[in-house]
Chains A and B, each alone.
Chain A
Amino acid sequence: MNRDLRSEARILPIVALVVVAFGFFARGDANLMQAGTFAAIDAVAAIGLGVLLGNVAQISIGQAGFFGIGGYALAYLTTAVTWPASVPPWAQFFAGTLAGTVLAAAFGVLLGLIALRFKGHYLAMATLAFGLIATGVFRISSALGGASGLQNIPYAQLGSLSISGVAAFWYAWAMVALVAGLTFNLLRGRTGRAFEAIRNDELAAEAIGVPTRRFKIVAFTFAGALAGFAGSFYSSYLGLIEPTGVSVNFSVDLLLMVVLGGAGRISGAILGAAIVGLTNVYGHNLENWRPVIYGLLVIAIVIGFPRGLIGIVPRRRRAASPAIAPANGEVAAAPAMPLRTPVGSGDAPWLTVEHATKRFGGLVAVDDVSFTLESGKLTSLIGPNGAGKTTLFNAICGIGRVTSGRVLVAGRDVTTWQPHRIAELGVGRSFQNARLFADMTVLENVVAGAFRAETASLVSDLLALPASRRSGALALELAREALARLELEALADVRAGDLAFGDRRRVELARAMAARPGLLLVDEPAAGLNAGERRRLREDLLRLREGGMTLLLIEHDMRLVMDVSDRVMVLKFGKLIADGLPARVRDDPGVIAAYLGTAV
């Protein structure tokens, strides 16, 4: 659990107490009960948007569309459809709720698919358009009652109890409790770790094996489903639903609640919804001042307190993790092997590159390069700046596809694969500019690095099944092992963004090896390190090789390269000009010429 979730675990019970106290003392006041009920309905939708915005850094200004889809689905099923007499009213209500939630989730998938194509502002515009289209369709559809909407929706019935008034208040807050619980579970599990990685750095998330596209769709679907769930109860509670009630203004209201309370925080979404809900009762004589103040508040909060009002609550200082450092030797003795041993990799070499060529327009960055790595060896790829080394790395891990030629990992042709799939085969990498997840601690970074070893499914995360916990425990164990092996335990609780440069490099190495990759690509690890740090790096690399890992290293530090490599390849203007034992390559006149620029 990260800091935010630990804080949620403390705050949510307090929120529950406040709600219960409110429900008890305000039960006689119909206005307050109504405001409280609307606040709960909004909170359900806001929690979903909060996950999207705060945990995955994707925006939606179209949540009212999903809310409307849920509301209209229930309204249509309970008013326009004639049910057989054997179906009791409560079953109709739950059928409507289920249909509304599922339909909204389906549209969430659709919007998620669209969202994959855009970032930032374009996504915001696309979601805004989605919301407006939804309202427009509600307005012109005669089956949905056109501009006047659907009326006379019966109250939900549970047996003889009609869910209105005080009962509706408790029902709505039970919805919030359910949704808050599910969201908490989701964020605590493998899904939450994937979200955090995506929010911090999408490319690095892919490189550690997170299918970023799939998880973005999951987030949009989740947010859509919650908005639909909320909307279905809204129409039942209000007894009617009309296009103006689910217009773009409501989308903006939801965004405002989330930003106000704190994006990415369950209690923040609830707080935001409660504030807006209560000012709707006590502030109705403010008329247009209210939205003006909301707007100003949003601007002020987003600039001054990006973590929202809930972010002002001080977080408990973390106790030093006691269980982080098991005995050193014990861990070092653990067998270094890929967790999910790739199928048939027994004989196949870890990496084979065949006639790889990469063109950028007229420039040939990698020119017909072929090689095979011997398993368990450390091979270095050297060459002057601009020789195409990193381009070749990117082609191997799927970040930039080769123009022609093939890349085989463990015997499989991965030339056209997405990065996370290649990572899943057991390929880890570090980046030239150390792309750590800056907002996460060192331990959380390395836990994320163990992502591809994790096994929990979305459902087991949602329901906090044992599989979800096992998966998290496994990732934690692997992360601790990786930290121990690189002797980084002392830094476990430091925020990655606060690390010194040399430590950042080593933490990235730990993250890349946490899932025990079979093949590790390391891009210029020594750049910017001082002499002492370079010595440690040398030890780290040798230790990894001794563990049986196959390593491919890009490096400019010749002493390091000559010292640790079993084999050295030299790239010049995209062409492989030398390949062999370190000593041979060092004395190769062509290589000397490449570095010193003399004519051969």
Chain B
Amino acid sequence: MLQLVVAGLTVGSGYALVALGIHIILRATRAINFAQGEFVILGGLLAYGAVTWLHASVWLALALATLLGFVLGLAYERFVLRPAARVGELAVTIASVGTIYVLLYGHALVWGSLPQPLPYFSGVAEDVKWRVFGTEIAAQQAWVLGLLLLALVVLYAFFERTTYGKAVRAASDNPLGARLIGIDVDRARAISVAIAIALAAFGGTIIGPITLVGGAAGIGISIKGFVGGILGGLDSPVGCTLGGLVVGVVEKLLEGGAGYGIADPVVYSLLLVMLIVRPQGLFGTRRAVRD
């Protein structure tokens, strides 16, 4: 049981990072990025590429994947989201769905359609396991939770403590007002999207050693991240994080208790139920839904 919870928190960390990414992009561009999960997979595969092609250490691979994610995010905003937003809201949705195909089959062209393993962060072939309260915890699971925390701290510091982060937030919350006081709103949006995609790549790399990376998992990750966001409230970063973790735990408990095939439909049904009963999420405000 506890084992399942820990496993759930680990995959849930991935969903939490997806939910946060969706939150950041939603706030900056008022659009939901359906391809967020694909960027998680792509990030993991970029790290895998760094390890296999460049013989980089996993830490260097993590840094490279995150950086490449940032750059890809800039490009994604500039060449897909921004022009689509000029056409309309539906266009953004459709363009980001189109991006799913480009990424999903694009990475299959490079890495094949089978998921690939990433090395453990402890630098050993067989992952170290500790026994805590009668439960086996793998070192990688501890790494994932630790690195999630690190990402949250960095994000918080950027958005709440730096002038630049505050400018980006201002541009998201009130574009016109931000423009009037001289903030470059387009650039702030691009930075937001880039951060969100970097976050996805970061997430893909840290959970990669456990889940393997590649294949067609991206859509599922997108939706489960979104479920987490809806659960916690898409306009609340704390809610997104907790929601993502909860979704991971629920998924693992269902898989452990009722079998593999049950978990996904139940989690997706949870999305519909939440959308109907409380679309603003547990921590969110009503405003988020109507915008």
Chain A residues close to B by CB (< 8 Å)? 53, 57, 59, 61, 114, 117-122, 124-126, 128-130, 132-133, 136-137, 139-140, 147, 248, 252, 255-256, 259, 288-292, 294-299, 302-303, 306
Contact = CB atoms under 8 A, between A and B. Distances in A.
B104 interface: yes
A136 B99 contact: no
B50 interface: no
**Closest 3 A-B residue pairs measured CB to CB?**
A295-B101, A136-B265, A298-B98
B262 to A, nearest CB: 6
Contacts of A302: 84, 87, 91, 94-95, 98
Contact of A122 (B97, B220, B289): B289
Contacts of B86: 303
A292 B87 contact: no
26 contacts: A59-B93, A61-B97, A114-B275, A121-B93, A122-B275, A125-B32, A125-B34, A125-B223, A130-B272, A132-B220, A132-B223, A136-B261, A140-B261, A255-B97, A256-B101, A259-B94, A288-B106, A289-B109, A291-B101, A291-B104, A295-B101, A295-B102, A296-B102, A302-B95, A303-B95, A306-B87
B268 interface: yes
B90 A298 contact: no
Contacts of B104: 291
Interface string B73-100: 0000000100110111111111101111
B105 A291 contact: yes
Interface string B139-176: 00000000000000000000000000000000000000
Contact of B272 (A121, A129, A294): A129
Interface in B248-268: 259, 261-262, 264-265, 268
A303 B84 contact: yes
Contact of A118 (B95, B262, B275): B275
Interface string B217-229: 0011001001000
Interface string B17-46: 000000000100001101000000000000
B101 A57 contact: no
B124 interface: no
Contacts of B247: none
A295 B91 contact: no
B99 A299 contact: yes
B101 A252 contact: yes
A59 B101 CA distance: 18
Contact of A295 (B100, B109, B220, B275): B100
A124 B98 CA distance: 13
A121 B275 CA distance: 12
Contacts of B220: 132
B108 interface: yes
B104 to A, nearest CB: 7
Given A126-B272, A126-B275, A129-B272, A299 B102 contact: yes
Given A121-B32, A256-B98, A288-B105, A137 B265 contact: yes
B289 to A, nearest CB: 7
Nearest to A118: B275
Contact of B91 (A122, A129, A256, A306): A306
Nearest to A304: B83
Contacts of B272: 114, 126, 129-130, 133
A122 B92 CA distance: 13
A294 B104 CA distance: 12
Contacts of B102: 292, 295-296, 299
A118 B289 contact: yes
Residue from the set A248, A255, A295, A297 with the largest chain B CB neighbour count within 10 Å: A295
Nearest to A126: B275
B53 to A, nearest CB: 20
Contacts of A140: 259, 261-262, 265
A136 B264 contact: yes
A140 B259 CA distance: 10
A118 B84 contact: no
Given A59-B93, A125-B223, A132-B223, A288 B108 contact: yes
Given A126-B275, A291-B105, A298-B95, 20 more contacts: A59-B93, A59-B94, A117-B275, A119-B290, A120-B89, A121-B32, A125-B226, A129-B269, A133-B272, A256-B101, A259-B98, A289-B105, A292-B106, A294-B98, A295-B103, A298-B101, A302-B91, A302-B98, A303-B91, A306-B87
B279 interface: yes
B269 A298 contact: no
Contacts of B62: none
Nearest to B261: A140
Contacts of B223: 125, 128-129, 132
B271 A125 contact: yes
A132 B275 contact: no
Nearest to B272: A129
Contacts of A61: 34, 97
Contact of B269 (A133, A248, A259): A133
Contact of A120 (B90, B108, B259): B90
A292 B106 CA distance: 6
Nearest to A253: B101
A577 B191 CA distance: 53
B276 interface: yes
Contacts of A132: 220, 223, 264-265, 268
A521 B269 CA distance: 45
Given A120-B90, A292-B105, A298-B95, A129 B268 contact: yes
A61 B93 CA distance: 10
Contacts of B108: 288
A73 to B, nearest CB: 19
Contacts of B80: 299, 303
A252 B93 CA distance: 12
A285 to B, nearest CB: 14
A293 to B, nearest CB: 9
Contact of B31 (A121, A297, A299): A121
B101 A292 contact: yes
Contacts of A124: 32, 34, 93, 97
Interface in B190-246: 219-220, 223, 226, 230
A295 B271 contact: no
Contact of A296 (B98, B113, B279): B98
Nearest to B112: A288
A290 B104 CA distance: 12
Contacts of A117: 275-276, 279
Given A132-B265, A303-B84, A295 B276 contact: no
Nearest to A147: B261
Given A59-B94, A132-B264, A118 B279 contact: yes
Contacts of A126: 271-272, 275
A304 to B, nearest CB: 8
A256 B93 CA distance: 12
Contacts of A289: 105, 109
